Amino acid sequence: MKIMICLISIIFCLTSHLWADLQADQSQINRFRERIEVEINEAIDVTKLLSRGIQLDCCSRITNNKVQVYATPYEQELIKNMGLKVSVNPVRIGKNSRDASYHTYNTLTQELQRLANKYPSIAHLSSLGKTVEGREMWCMKISDNANEDEAEPKFKYISSMHGDEVVGKELMVYLIRSLLDDYGQDDRITKLVNRTQIFIVPSMNPDGTERHSRYNANWIDLNRNFPDVENDKNSDPKGRAIETQNVMKFIAKHNFALSINFHGGAVVVNYPWDTKSGNPPYVQLVKHLSLGYSKRNVPMFNSTSFPQGIINGYDWYEVDGGMQDWNYHWRQTLELTVELSNQKWPDASDLGKLWKDNEESLLWYMSQTHQGIHGTILDSETNAPIKATVKVQGVEKQCSSTETHGDFYRVLLPGRYNLTFSAPGYASKTITEVEVQDTSFSPTVLNVKLSAN
């Protein structure tokens, strides 16, 4: 018996060391993870799971004392040793029907190409780059002069970085069609397209979607793969998943005013921070935008799981290396994470209702790009555009003007603000008591000229 116990102990230790070594390569660990359901006894059990490094699929609601997690066989044994029951529970893949179906990568490509060809003056289709398996990461730019880089605010929607969370991908197709088909017919849409450069990435992880998998083709969770607010000293794409690199390089080329990335597994607006406790900078605006999206989506606002349909990410569950926090911390772009449906992959027949639930929210949020102060920063003698920093007194986050046009766009709540403009080689300038009103498509215009030192 003692020999048997010793052998079991040795095997357990060797197995433990094996999995410890694999921690050095998270993608290799993810290969062995499967989605399971854990029956918890009390709330503290969730904390215990997290403390053991178990990946909670926290987008799924805790119902009937059950929670969904991604766990390796070794981790499943750890969970069982905690006295908790486990059962395999893969993501259910919704059915297509005669009247509704999900896009495959090929049919999505065909549809986006069709729309770009049909509306060549207001739609431009490009790729952020290729995925691990060589698929294009399509991006549709929509603007009144889509083939030009104009002095207009830039806005982006990006979806399905988790490949098995596909509702956002389909809603982005609905949105692209609406913006293009209704341009010139609907006044609000026409104003949005005329005054905004809109970028929509329907599928950030097409490899994962084709595989019905959360991960990319190298088993990397893309929403744990961005430079982390607390653990990374710089924002370097090198060494990250190719899809992450493509997105980081794409965003570095643009000066986005606002953004949302879309997920599935709950119905809620998740706002920064995800990786640490406490309020994000300019929390009043963050909550205003979050609540503004939620209250235009009746099922979301009336949530019984999330008061008024919004939640601070860290208060929900911690995410390190997430795209939302990276945008706000490293790129000064306020990004929210919107969870669109309790089922990650519902039946295609549900997509029409999900579009109706979110249509007004999507359009309203885009329009908020025009709430605040817009302007240009130019050299006082040559009128050349200046890449300058714009600081708003009392608001921690700053923004920058573009090198091409010297234009800047600062989303602000109604009020009076003092702004300081600065750039290397120029004398700083402060302008006080600039009024911002609550108006639709009528931002305060503030053009500034700086004098060289």
Query: Would you state the pLDDT for residue 59?
Result: 66
Residues 29 and 137 in one domain: no
Banded model confidence at residue 226, pLDDT cuts 50, 70, 90: very high
**Taking 90 as the threshold, does the pLDDT of residue 29 lie above it?**
no
Angle at alpha carbon of residue 197, lines to 196 and 203, rounded to 5°: 125
The catalytic residue positions are 339
Looking at this protein, which amino acid is placed at residue 297?
A: N
pLDDT recorded at residue 24 = 42
Higher pLDDT, 347 or 14: 347
**Domain end point (choices 53, 88, 123):** 88
pLDDT at 303 over 60: yes
Tell me if 97 is assigned to some domain.
no
Can you give the CATH number for the domain in which 428 is found? 2.60.40.1120
Mean pLDDT score, 235-242? 96
pLDDT above 70 (res 8): no
pLDDT interval class at 6 (50, 70, 90)? very low
Same domain as 169, residue 241: yes
Q: Using 50, 70 and 90 to split pLDDT, how confident is the model at 57?
A: confident
Residue at 274 is within a domain:
yes
User: How do residues 243-281 score in pLDDT, each as one tens digit?
Assistant: 999 999 999 999 999 999 999 999 999 999 999 999 999
- Rounded to the nearest angstrom, the gap between the alpha carbon of residue 368 and the centroid of all alpha carbons in its chain is 17
Q: Among the three residues 341, 370, 399, which one is the final residue of a domain in this structure?
A: 370
Which of 344, 370, 396 lies at the terminal end of a domain, its last residue?
A: 370
pLDDT, mean of residues 198-221? 97
Q: Supply the range of the domain harboring residue 293.
A: 105-370
- Distance separating alpha carbons of residues 136 and 414, to the nearest angstrom: 41
Q: Provide the pLDDT confidence category of residue 12 given band limits of 50, 70 and 90.
A: very low
Question: Is 338 in the same domain as 210?
Answer: yes
Q: Which H, E and C letters describe the chain, residue by residue?
A: CHHHHHHHHHHHHHHHHHHHHHCCCHHHHHCCCEEEEEECCCCHHHHHHHHCCCEECCCCCCECCEEEEEECHHHHHHHHHCCCEEEECCCCCCCCCCCCCCCCHHHHHHHHHHHHHHCCCCEEEEEEEECCCCCEEEEEEECCCCCCCCCCCEEEEEECCCCCCCHHHHHHHHHHHHHHHCCCCCHHHHHHHHHCEEEEECCCCHHHHHCCCCCCCCCCCHHHCCCCCCCCCCCCCCCCCHHHHHHHHHHHCCCEEEEEEEECCEEEEEECCCCCCCCCCCHHHHHHHHHHHHHCCHHHHCCCCCHHHEEEHHHHCCCCCCHHHHHHHHCCCEEEEEEEECCCCCCHHHHHHHHHHHHHHHHHHHHHHHCEEEEEEEECCCCCECCCEEEECCCCCCEECCCCCCEEEEECCCEEEEEEEECCCECCEEEEEEEECCCCCCCEECCEEECEC
Residue of 453, 284, 299, 443 lying closest to 371 (CA atoms): 443
Instruction: Tell me how crowded residue 244 is: count the other CB atoms within 10 A of its CB.
Output: 24
How confident is the model over 149-187, as pLDDT tens digits?
999 999 999 999 999 999 999 999 999 999 999 999 999
Q: Do 151 and 43 fall into the same domain?
A: no
pLDDT in the model for residue 13: 40
Would the pLDDT of 11 be above 90?
no
Q: How confident is the model at residue 7 (pLDDT cuts 50, 70, 90)?
A: very low
Q: How many domains does the chain have?
A: 3
Q: What is the mean pLDDT of residues 29-58?
A: 88
pLDDT given at position 53: 86
* CATH code at position 332: 3.40.630.10
Which pLDDT score is estimated for 134?
98
